[in-house]
Amino acid sequence: MTRKQRFENLFGMLPVLYPDARCLLDYDGSPFRLLISTILAAQTTDRKVNEVTPKLWSRYGSPAELADAPSDELERIVHPLGFFRNKARAVARAAERVAVDFGGRVPPSMSGLLSIPGVGRKTANVVLGEAFGKPALIVDTHVRRLSLRLDLTRKKNPDLVERDLAEHVPPARRTSFSHQLGFHGRQVCHARKPACASCVFDDFCPHRGVGRKGK
């Protein structure tokens, strides 16, 4: 089966399997809250971030307030997420850039988002796709893993994975495709023990990098 055919199979099957696939971070429609939540989500789960952010927003509701927050207080709030010193510093710097350079409003462009400290293409695409409704391929750890296993790309660098996926995924489907593929990674195609025997993609998946039939 060609790569193009695998994409076509996924386009037909993923929306049926995961019609409710979405961003799992709670952000109340606020681009700024989504930006900060996505930065905090590095190397932890969305569920853990959602447990922490209500306390963060109750104390620091705007970019300016978060930028001026005492570092020890920020560290205490984000401590459960791990790497708390780095994360406290990252969200404060991001908030300062939004407050000072963008008038308190998150920029709705890739270039603007990438100018914010701590923001890479994955974070920027989350914000563009979710908060601004723009076509965005969100290459998180799940999408990267499945893209390699399904042989949708041979690249390992997330930015190059995004580029290869963009050649096949129409703009209108990019955000939903990212979430649907990510849901499959969470529920079936796990990092250590993919459930290949029960996977509906088993017949056309090359199982690249997981051995014969995932065993």
Distance CA 157, CA 153 (A): 10
Question: What is the per-residue pLDDT for 211?
Answer: 61
Q: How many helices (H) and strands (E) does the chain have?
A: 11, 0
Q: What is the pLDDT of residue 213?
A: 46
Local confidence band at 215 (pLDDT 50, 70, 90 cut-offs) = very low
Q: DSSP class of residue 209?
A: T
Q: Percentage of the chain with pLDDT > 90?
A: 96
Which residue type occupies 30? S
State yes or no: pLDDT of 145 exceeds 70: yes
Q: Which helix (H) or strand (E) holds 214?
A: none
Q: Supply 145's token pair.
A: 């893993």
Annotated catalytic residues are: 122, 140
**Over pLDDT 70: what percentage of the chain?**
98
Q: What is residue 214's predicted lDDT score, i.e. its pLDDT?
A: 40
User: What mean pLDDT comes out for the span 62-79?
Assistant: 98
Mean pLDDT value of segment 138-157: 97
What's the pLDDT tens digit per position in 82-108? 999 999 999 999 999 999 999 999 999
- Kindly report, residue by residue over 110-128, the tens digit of the pLDDT: 999 999 999 999 999 999 9
Which domains, from first to last, does the chain contain?
Answer: 3-20+137-209 (1.10.1670.10), 31-131 (1.10.340.30)
- Mean pLDDT over residues 59-63, rounded? 96
Q: Please, which pLDDT band fits residue 209 given cuts at 50, 70 and 90?
A: confident
CA distances (Å), origin 198, targets 13, 193, 194: 15, 12, 9
User: In sequence order, what E strands does 120-190 have?
Assistant: none
In the structure encoding, which two tokens stand for residue 41, read together?
A: 């989500």
| pLDDT, tens digit, 9 for 90 and up, residues 11-36 | 999 999 999 999 999 999 999 999 99
pLDDT mean across residues, the chain: 96
Dig out the tokens for 40 from the structure: 């905090």
